[in-house]
């Protein structure tokens, strides 16, 4: 979604909408429409700036991505170790 580059499904992070926020679905079991992006802050920032989440999930208005940002930051820190 963010950088629009292709990658294997297991290299991407699945995202779903719960209420009015984007929630990461690391197990791939949450119900609903899913969208995939690289688990990197730069991809998240690009997706937010391009307003890709409302388009991908076909909803009106902005979606809260604070929880998603927290998880992506944790994944980034974990990968750096």
34-71 pLDDT, tens digit per residue, is 999 999 999 999 999 999 999 999 999 889 999 999 99
Structural domains of the chain ordered from first start: 9-80 (3.30.1230.10)
| Residue 79 in this model has a pLDDT that exceeds 90 | no
Confidence of residue 1 (pLDDT cuts 50, 70, 90): confident
- In order of 17, 40, 44, 46, 65, the CA distances from 72 in angstroms are 16, 6, 8, 13, 10
Reported pTM? 0.87
């Amino acid at each position: 979604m963010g950088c629009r580059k292709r990658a294997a499904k297991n290299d991407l992070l699945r995202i779903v909408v719960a209420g009015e926020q984007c929630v990461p679905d690391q197990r791939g079991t949450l119900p609903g429409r899913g969208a995939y992006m690289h688990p990197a802050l730069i991809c998240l920032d690009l997706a937010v700036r391009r307003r890709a989440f409302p388009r991908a999930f076909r909803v009106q208005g902005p979606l809260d991505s604070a929880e998603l940002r927290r998880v992506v930051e944790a994944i980034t820190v974990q990968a750096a170790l």
